[in-house]
Amino acid sequence: MKRRNNARRVDGILVLDKPAGLTSNAALQRVKGIYFAQKAGHTGSLDPLATGVLPICFGEATKWSQFLLDSDKEYVTTVCLGVTTDTGDADGAVLAERSAAGVDLAAIDSALPRFRGEIEQVPPMYSALKRNGVPLYELARAGQVVEREARRITVHSLEREGFEGGERARLVLRVRASKGTYIRVLAEDIGAALGCGAHVATLRRSRAGPFSDADAVSLDVLEELRATRAFAELDGFLLPASCALAHLPEVRLAESSCYYLSQGQAVTVATLPAAGLVRIAAEDGSFRGVGEVLDDRRVAPRRMGAA
C-alpha cells in the first residue's frame, strides 16, 4: 500500500537559533519535521559546537537560499589560548599545550590588525570540502592530511570584546567576515601569531546576511508548539522570502517589465542604482525576483519567481 504523504506546503524563512551539539543538517531535519514541510534547506553550515543564527528556507524561499549562502556572517567566539586541537575547536583532541601567561592586551591588539581585510586562509582538514568526492573530515578521521589551496577571504571587522589572562587565557572576539571564512582557522592563526597556539572554545553566529539574534527562535519553542499542533503559531515565525534580499536596493517596475524579466529578457529602466544586484518589485511593491544592472543601464533577470 502506498504511504500517504502528510507533508504541508510551507513557504518562507525561519531564523533558527541552532543549539550546540547538532549539525546544521540535523537541525534542519528536526525543523522540517516540526513543520511537516515538503521542502526545506539551510543556508550555511554551523559546526556542532556552534550556536546561533541558521536561516532555514521553506518551499519557494529555497530559490533565494544562495543569496544567504553568499552573504557576510558575524560571530562571537571565545578563543582558548595555549592549547591546539586537531579540529581547531573544543570538540577535538589536544595536540599541544603551551603557557599563555605571557600574552597581554598589548600583544593581542598588536596581532589582530594583520587578520583584518583581505587575507589568505587555508581550509581545515576537518571541513566538508571534498577531495575526489570525499569530504576532508573523513580523510582527517582516517589520519590523512592532504594539501589544501589557500582561499582569499575578507574579514570586515575583528574586535576584542573580552580577555582573561593566565596559563589558559580566554580571548573573546567579534568577527564579521565574508562567506567561506573558518573561525576555527582564524583562532588558530591568531594563536600562532601570539606564540602559544589556540582553539575555539565557544562559537555563536550572531548574524547571517540580514538576519540577527533578534530574529531567531529556539528549537525548544518550536517543539513545544509542534506538540500541540499549533501550526498557525509556528507559521507566524516564518518571514517572507524577500527578507533574504533586504540588503539589495529595490527597483520597482511596471507589470509588463516584470513579465519580460520572467521570460529571461533584459529591460530598460529609466532610473537605476549603481551596477550590481537589485531586488525587483512590481509597482504595488510585491516581490518578483533578483536582477542585475548591466553596463548599458538595463536590468537583466538573475532569479525570478513569485515569493
Distance between CA atoms of residues 4 and 11, nearest Å: 21
Catalytic residue among 47, 89, 189, 215: 47
Q: Report the SS3 class of residue 10.
A: coil
Phi, psi of 176 (to 5 degrees): -120, 120
- Buried residues in 232-258 as b, exposed as e (16+ CB within 10 A): eebbebbbebbbbbeebeebbbeeebb
Distance between CA atoms of residues 173 and 219, nearest Å: 26
| C-alpha closest to that of 250 among 289, 274, 291, 278 | 278
Phi, psi of 136 (to 5 degrees): -60, -35
Instruction: List strand residue ranges (DSSP E) for the chain, in order.
Output: 12-18, 40-42, 51-58, 73-81, 83-85, 94-97, 117-121, 130-131, 134-135, 151-164, 170-177, 198-208, 211-212, 217-218, 250-253, 267-268, 276-282, 287-293, 298-304
Residues 6 or more apart in contact with residue 220 via CB below 8 angstroms: none
| 295 labelled catalytic | no
- Would you please indicate which residues are annotated as catalytic (active-site) residues? 47
